[in-house]
Amino acid sequence: MGIVNVTPDSFSDGGLFLDANVAIAHGLELFEQGAQILDIGGESTRPGAQPVGEREELRRVLPVIEGLASALATVDDRPRISIDTSKAAVARAALAAGAELVNDVSALRGDPEMASVVADADAECCLMHMLGEPRTMQREGGPRYGDVVDDVKSFLAQRLELAVDAGIDARRILLDPGIGFGKTPAHNLTLLRRLDELTTLGPPLVIGTSRKTFLGRIAAGAGGAREPLAADARLPGTIATNVMALERGASVFRVHDVAPVAAALAVAAATLGGKWTARSKTS
């Protein structure tokens, strides 16, 4: 899953792809690198991010989704387009414009109409765990859990059941433990270490560690530095966590750097016995 942020304030690439044509070109480049899903987002969910109005979010994402859908319409084995939103109106318009998957970080809690929008469109959806909301999830004092894996698993099981009861096909649901969303570095590492415990829920697991701050802190600490490495220096940590997540049962990897992560996953899968099923560029 290649990330296309059409935002001015995302932590890693905010402002780089605000122009629709630039964002479309970036999405096509990620597809050429091996992305099977292009995740388009118009509202940052970084810690402390401020909400974006529905009209502005639509203004940002619709031209990109329409442009990508048009450019890829005749391409064999084209990627699915995902809309990263918690607003039902944005999801509805994005699905009409060519998106096929709704990536909802609120797990259908942000908008009471979202479940019906997904169900009526027979779309795919990704349900993610988040403690709190982007503005507050990493405030001083830190998030607290009894057992982070048990708590996340229970939450995802409940949201999965709610989604199916709302008419969403269970075969079209993905689950995301929400690495970095209302979690300390220790929580993130525990979830990655015990990710296999979430596979018993059934749906494919999405992992999103790409360029996140806890990776920069770990790498900096290993080198004796106090400040975390910059976002664009966190690729080694991104690769390491995605390879480990593959071994523990994840099957969708949401990343900024598609080509190097895809290559690492291919090698890891060959070592593990062929679990990785990335699209072949020659197929």
DSSP string, 194-259: TGGGGGGG-SPBEE--TT-HHHHHHHHHHTT-SSPPPGGG-HHHHHHHHHHHHHTT--EE-BS-HH
Domain at 2-206, CATH class: alpha beta
Q: Which one of 183, 212, 234, 248 is the catalytic residue?
A: 212
Distance CA 283, CA 277 (A): 12
Tokens 């995902």 belong to 82
Predicted confidence at residue 240, as pLDDT, reads 97
Q: Which one of 87, 183, 234, 254 is the catalytic residue?
A: 254
Query: How many other CB atoms are found less than 10 A from the CB of residue 69?
Result: 17
Query: How many other CB atoms are found less than 10 A from the CB of residue 265?
Result: 23
| 212 belongs to the catalytic site | yes
Please give the single-letter amino acid code of residue 259: A
Distance CA 251, CA 224 (A): 34
Predicted confidence at residue 51, as pLDDT, reads 81
Tell the burial category of 62 from Cβ atoms under 10 Å away from its Cβ (0-12, 13-18, 19+).
buried
Contact, 95 vs 83, CB < 8 A?
A: yes
Task: Look at the alpha carbons of 106, 117, 40, 18 in this order and tell me if their dihedral is positive or negative.
Answer: negative
H helices of 11-105, where?
20-33, 54-72, 88-97
Predicted confidence at residue 273, as pLDDT, reads 86
Tell whether pTM > 0.75: yes
173: which residues sit within 8 A by CB, 6+ positions away? 124, 125, 126, 127, 160, 163, 164, 203
| 275 belongs to the catalytic site | no
Domain with CATH 3.20.20.20 in the chain: 2-206
pLDDT digits (tens), the chain, 283 positions:
999 999 875 555 555 666 899 999 999 999 999 999 999 999 987 676 678 899 999 999 999 999 999 999 999 999 999 999 999 999 999 999 999 999 999 999 999 999 999 999 999 999 999 987 765 655 655 788 999 999 999 999 999 999 999 999 999 999 999 999 999 999 999 999 999 999 999 999 999 999 999 999 999 999 899 899 999 999 999 999 999 999 999 999 999 999 999 999 999 999 998 655 554 443 3
Predicted confidence at residue 17, as pLDDT, reads 62
